[in-house]
Amino acid sequence: MALLLPVIDNQRPFQPVFQPCIHEALQHLNVLFKDALHSVYLSGSLARREGIPGRSDLNLTLVLKRPLNDQETSRLHSLNWHLARRHKAITRLDLKLALYENVLSLEGIFEWGFWLRHCCVCLSGKDLSGSFGDFEPSWDAAKSLNGPLEPILNEYRHKILKTRVAEHYLDYCEYIGKKMLWTAFTLVMHKEKTLALSLNQATACFLRIYPDKSLEAERAAMLASRTQVPKKATLYLMQHFGLWIADEWQKIERKIG
């Protein structure tokens, strides 16, 4: 009998501190993009009811009937600034955009089907997660969560080298620390036969298979927690731990495909 991955509980109410922000975001989205918007989904710590006020992002996935035009894209950027300014419980609005036709395409089964089915809660519109069955913890499912890491390492290496703003540096460190740990989890998800719904769970799963990487994982977690570390140390970790993850990812991809 195949082992199926769990879905996020969508029956419990969201944490009260985040409800005003979620409600206002939906109001703005449904007004500003009513002609283009099909449905809205919540993911991340707020969807798991584990958000930390002042530390958590508002992670939304928008399924669109059509691509946004330039004016609508500008409105999204403005909405991000507006919500972060008005609601101190969140750090920012983090958006994923998907076209309806791509979500329901054969190619979108793992990229979007897995995401909507197992990692999201529908907030508005017709819930597409019911269009997909439960997924098994396979390599294809793991890849849908995190693709190749090396291009992102290169991008953030340049960002970190260039920035002179401490807050921006911490933003970049937080992102790349989380990205390394989540991608490390995808190396073992198909072996551990489980879905991690938090960074701590993902790291613990990874270390069960790669216990010799505990020091590197601990340092990546420091970046993810926005602990101030010297740029040289961050770049060293990205160069060694990050590229090791990228190399392991490619080895599995060549072996399993």
Residue 58 in any domain: the answer is yes
Q: Please indicate, yes or no, whether residues 148 and 36 belong to a single structural domain of this protein.
A: no
**DSSP code of 131?**
G
Of 136, 169, 192, which residue sits at a domain end? 136
Sign of the torsion formed by the C-alpha atoms of 208, 214, 217 and 223 = positive
Global pTM value: 0.72
Does 122 lie in the same domain as 20? yes
Q: Do 130 and 221 belong together in one domain? A: no
Q: Which of 136, 167, 197 is the last residue of a domain?
A: 136
Do 150 and 231 sit in the same domain of this protein?
Answer: yes
Dump pLDDT digits (tens) for 13-39: 899 999 999 999 999 999 989 889 999
Between strands 90-99 and 56-64, the pairing is parallel
Structural domain harbouring 101 = 16-136
Tell me the backbone φ, ψ of residue 97, rounded to 5 degrees.
-120, 135
* Cβ-Cβ contacts under 8 Å for 172 (sequence gap 6 or more): 156, 159, 160, 163
Provide Rg for the chain, Cα atoms. 18
Residue 109 and residue 172 in one domain: no
Together in a domain, 122 and 181 = no
Tell me the CA distances in angstroms from 166 to 43, 67, 229, one per residue in order: 28, 35, 11
Q: Are residues 151 and 215 both part of a single domain?
A: yes
Per-residue pLDDT tens over the stretch 82-141: 888 899 999 888 888 999 999 988 777 777 888 888 888 999 999 998 888 776 777 777
CA neighbor of 237 nearest in space, from 153, 145, 115:
153
Q: What is the pLDDT of residues 35-59, one digit of tens each?
A: 899 999 999 889 989 899 988 889 9
Indicate whether 89 and 113 sit together in one domain: yes
